Amino acid sequence: MKKLITVFGASGQQGGGVVQALLKNPNFKVRALTRNPDSEASLKLKEQGVEVVKCDDSDSKEKIQEALKGSYGVFCVTNYWAYFEKEVEYGCNMADAALSAGVRHFIFSGLTPMNKISKGLFTVPHYDQKYKIEEYIRELSKSNPTTFISSFVYAPGYMQNFLSFYPPKKNIEPDGTITFTLTTPSDPNGKPLDIGDISEMGYIVEGILSDPIKYSGAVIPISGDCLTGPQIAQIYSKVTGKTVTFNFIPPSVFRTLSFIHNSEAIASMYEFCNEYGAFGDIDKSIAPTIHKLKTFEEFLISNNVKLLE
């Protein structure tokens, strides 16, 4: 009998990748939770044979519990940018609902505990709040060791961000030559940045669900590549055939850019990453044993990335 896996955020980048990976595994069937079951993304999921149920992170425990009924496993990702300080309350509520619904394996998409690793030097709410949820989930598993297994995946910097949030900008030089500049707050003299194709998180989650005992309590960071800003620019140049150079914008300057949403939190995140790396000393070797992850070069090639003059 196929095991039912329920996925929060099924129309997002992380949840969407999880749904697609699970659909390829004959041992699983998928239920997608979404705020809008009639959206275009939801309708596409239905066409793929996915059960789509209306449910939001902010719903009551009872409503979430009903949405999780019959599920063997759950993939949970919370959205700090939608709920800010309420994220911890909602995330813990989702875990409580899963336990009450009889879910056996709860996989939470967390992030590096930056405040803890830096001993209070850096406070990054969209990271640190997820760690508070992780701690709560661990306590639930500790109290229910045979009936509520939990595992944790940590996202890297999205490779997708270098197509959308940090795309190379075109320059016209005095001689008419066209070049491109990639600008980020990643210090070329600091730690290189862990990045990954976030859609591949789905294969890691599938692997965890397929071997719950092995991955019980595990933290599995996902990193397809670990690169400095200049290295990212060099790979862009290699793949596109265009000249791409790197421009470092210090986090102290980045946080003053009023036209960038949440620049303060993003700047603090980069300050931590420049000092400690995206994952600190957390072991990154597990994810590649579950699924071969794309390098940045492979990601650009697979997306047929071009820079237009």
Task: State the pLDDT at residue 261.
Answer: 84
Model pLDDT for residues 271-291, shown as the tens digit of each residue? 999 999 999 999 999 999 999
pTM, two decimal places: 0.95
* Rounded CA separation 169/180 (Å): 5
Task: State the pLDDT at residue 81.
Answer: 87
Task: State the pLDDT at residue 197.
Answer: 98
Positive or negative: CA dihedral 132, 133, 139, 141? negative
Contacts of 43 (CB under 8 A, 6+ apart): none
* Rounded CA separation 274/51 (Å): 42
Contacts of 99 (CB under 8 A, 6+ apart): 106, 140, 144, 148
Model pLDDT for residues 77-120, shown as the tens digit of each residue? 999 988 989 999 999 999 999 999 999 999 999 999 999 999 99
For the chain, which residues score pLDDT lower than 50? none
Type of residue numbered 168:
P
Task: State the pLDDT at residue 304.
Answer: 97
Contacts of 281 (CB under 8 A, 6+ apart): 117
Helix, strand, coil % over all residues of the chain, rounded to 5: 40, 20, 40
Task: State the pLDDT at residue 309.
Answer: 77
